[in-house]
Chain A
Amino acid sequence: MIRADHQILEAMLSHAENCHPEESCGLLAMDESGRIRMAYPLTNSLRSSTNYTIEPHEHFKALRHAEAQGWEIGGVFHSHPHSAAHPSPTDVRLAPDPEWLYVVIGMEDRPVVRGFRIIQGQIHDEPITFEKRTRQ
């Protein structure tokens, strides 16, 4: 079970809506406990509704920022503007890192956000709990 602040969910959904009908994409930074600490909304350099590639220099800057906070880039999120929140065959083929969290935002009817691990071509559900924090 992965945990994250609700703001992470809001950032991913907002980026997906802003990029629609193109695919949105971004990176996720985790702390030592595995909690998602930051969602970096980044540019899809393909500007496509069916594919994405994260713009490399933005990837580099996100990495630098995460490292400066003591975090590690440990996942990626992207939207499916016209299909479900499930990794596509292309996602599986291009998912190289079994340790990464792959978050897919399905925009078919209403937005649905789901997390996965992709290990040796096999898709495994990885539930994410988005927590709303109350101010003290």
Chain B
Amino acid sequence: MSATINLPTILRGHAGGSRTIEVTGSTVGEVFDHVSRDFPKLGEQLSSPDGGLPVFMNVFVDDEDIRYLAGLDTTVDDHTEITILPAVAGG
């Protein structure tokens, strides 16, 4: 399986400036493992010390937030679009 990942502007520099990247994997977690292998700096942004998703990072599979699906175990297929959105916050 090969999913398309849509990257926000702030993370594109970690992927050669690309707006999208194609990454293999059958779950979001596997896809992110492959991202870490191919783009280590980008992978650092997608993992937390406990192995989960950083709380400030929102990930959508097609139109759904993976926190309301199966998290990193959410399955992906060849037509899946994964969108990464860092939380926008302030005070």
Contacts and interface: CB of A to CB of B under 8 A. Distances in A.
B83 A63 contact: yes
A56 interface: yes
Interface of A: 23, 25, 27, 50-54, 56-57, 59-60, 63, 72-74, 76, 78, 87-91, 94-97, 99-100, 102
Interface string B41-71: 0000000000000000010100101000000
A59 B9 contact: no
A91 B91 contact: yes
Interface string B64-91: 0100000000000000000101111111
B39 to A, nearest CB: 17
A13 to B, nearest CB: 18
B85 A88 contact: no
**Which of A54, A56, A72, A94 is the most central at the interface, judged by chain B CB atoms within 10 Å of its CB?**
A56
Given A51-B89, A56-B85, A76-B90, 7 more contacts: A53-B88, A56-B58, A59-B85, A72-B9, A91-B91, A94-B91, A96-B86
Contacts of A53: 87-89
